[in-house]
Amino acid sequence: MTFNVVAFLRRAAREPLVHFMAIGAALFVVNGLINGPDEGPEGEVVVVSQGQVMQIAQSFVLLSGRAPTRAELQALVDDFVSEEVGYREAIAMGLDADDTIVRRRMRQKIEFMIEDGAASETPSESDLQAWLDAHPEKFRMPERRALRQVLLSADKRGARAAADAEAALASLKAGGDPADLGDRSMLPAAIPLTTQEGVAALFGADFAAAAFAAGEGGWFGPVASPFGQHVAMLVDVEPGRAVPLAEVVDRVHADWVETRRNAARDDFHARMRERYDIRIEWPEPWKDMPSTPDPNPKTKPSLEIGE
C-alpha cells in the first residue's frame, strides 16, 4: 500500500488538535520575539533581605531564648531558601491549582491583607460615640436579678418531685424556713444579681425564663429544670439600662473594627466576582432546585451517582 503524503496532510489539516498545536507554537514564537528567550527557573533571583534574616533570627530567639550562632542562622536561612525555591517550583508546575489547603490558605492571606488595611484606621471618640448611638442594643446593660431557690430533686424524689414542690411552696408562703425544705445539691441556694443568660447557664432556660417573668410577690413555683422542681423567690432587681461610652469603650472599639474588617472583606469579594464570568455547572440532583432555602423541605437531593 502506497503512503499518500498529500492525502495525509490534508486530513491532518482538518484535525482540531493540529490547529491547537499550531496556535500554541505561534504564540510561543510571538512571546519569544516580544519578551526575549525564556531563561526558566535558572534566571530567577531569590533575595533574602536583612529584614527576613532578622525575622528568622528573632524566631530562633523566641524558641530557644538566645541568639543563634552564624552556623545556626546559616542553616535556618538555607532552609528558608529551600522553602522559597520549592514553593516557586511548585507554583511553576501548577501543583497549587487543585490543592484545597493551598487555595484556602492563599484566600485567607489576601483576606487578612484586606481586613488589616480596613482596621488600620484609628477611630476618634466621636466615631465611637456615633457607633454606640447607632447600635445601643448591642451594648445595653441587661436586667439582672437576685434569687433564692429550693430544689426538690428529681433524682431523689422521682415522680413525687412536683407534688413535694407544691407542698414546699405552701409551707414557704406560710412562713416556713427554706433551710428545712428541699434537697441538698451543688446548686447555689442564693443567686446574686445575675443576667438571664447567667441564670440559664446554671439552671436551664426554662427556669431562667420563669425567674425573669416573676414579679416581686414572694415565693413562686414550682419551676422545672433539668435537676427537678424548684420553688423560688425574687430578692432584688437591677433594671437594664443604656450605658455611657466610657463604660464600654473597649467593646465599642472592637465592634467598630470588626465591622469594618467584615465590610472590607465582603466588598473585596463582591468587586472581585464582578471581574469574572462565573458559571456553575450544577450536578443533576441539584440542577433544578431553587437557590433560596426552603423553610420546610420535603425532599432532599440524592447523593447516588448515575441516577
Listed as own residue / partner, the contacts of 264-272 with beta carbons closer than 8 Å and 24 or more positions apart are 264/114, 264/115, 264/117, 264/118, 265/111, 265/114, 265/115, 265/118, 268/111, 268/114
Judgement on whether residues 129 and 172 belong to the same structural domain of the protein? no
Nearest Cα residue to 192 out of 234, 249, 244: 234
pLDDT for 21 equals 54
Task: Identify any residues that bridge with 225 across adjacent strands, giving them in sequence order.
Answer: 228
Integer CA distances (angstroms), 217 to 221, 224, 236, 289, 294, in order: 12, 19, 11, 56, 46
Listed in order, strand segments (DSSP E) in 49-160 are 144-153
- Give domain status of residue 224, yes or no: yes
Judgement on whether residues 258 and 199 belong to the same structural domain of the protein? no
- Give domain status of residue 36, yes or no: no
The continuous run of DSSP H or E covering 193 comes out as strand 190-195
pLDDT for 30 equals 45
- Give domain status of residue 137, yes or no: yes
- Give domain status of residue 187, yes or no: yes
Judgement on whether residues 67 and 214 belong to the same structural domain of the protein? no
Which ranges of 175-237 would DSSP assign to H, the alpha helix?
196-203, 205-213
Q: Does a cis peptide bond (omega within 30 degrees of 0) precede residue 285?
A: no
Judgement on whether residues 181 and 146 belong to the same structural domain of the protein? yes
Give the domain range for residue 175: 142-238
Q: What is the number of domains present in the chain? A: 3
Secondary structure (3-state) at 214: coil
pLDDT for 302 equals 54
Judgement on whether residues 137 and 249 belong to the same structural domain of the protein? yes
Are 238 and 144 in contact by the 8 Å Cβ rule? The answer is yes
Integer CA distances (angstroms), 113 to 106, 118, 206, 224, in order: 11, 9, 45, 51
Low-confidence ranges of the chain (pLDDT < 70): 1-43, 291-307
Judgement on whether residues 258 and 135 belong to the same structural domain of the protein? yes
Judgement on whether residues 211 and 150 belong to the same structural domain of the protein? yes
Secondary structure (3-state) at 4: coil
Judgement on whether residues 119 and 264 belong to the same structural domain of the protein? yes
pLDDT for 147 equals 95
- Give domain status of residue 33, yes or no: no
pLDDT for 305 equals 47
CA dihedral 216, 217, 219, 224 (to 10 degrees): -70
CB atoms closer than 10 angstroms to residue 84: 14
Q: β-strand 190-195 against 144-153: which pairing, if any?
A: antiparallel
What are 194-232's pLDDT values in tens digits?
999 999 999 999 999 999 999 888 999 899 999 999 999
Judge if pTM exceeds 0.75: no
The domain that contains 190 carries what CATH number? Answer: 3.10.50.40
- Give domain status of residue 300, yes or no: no
pLDDT for 125 equals 94
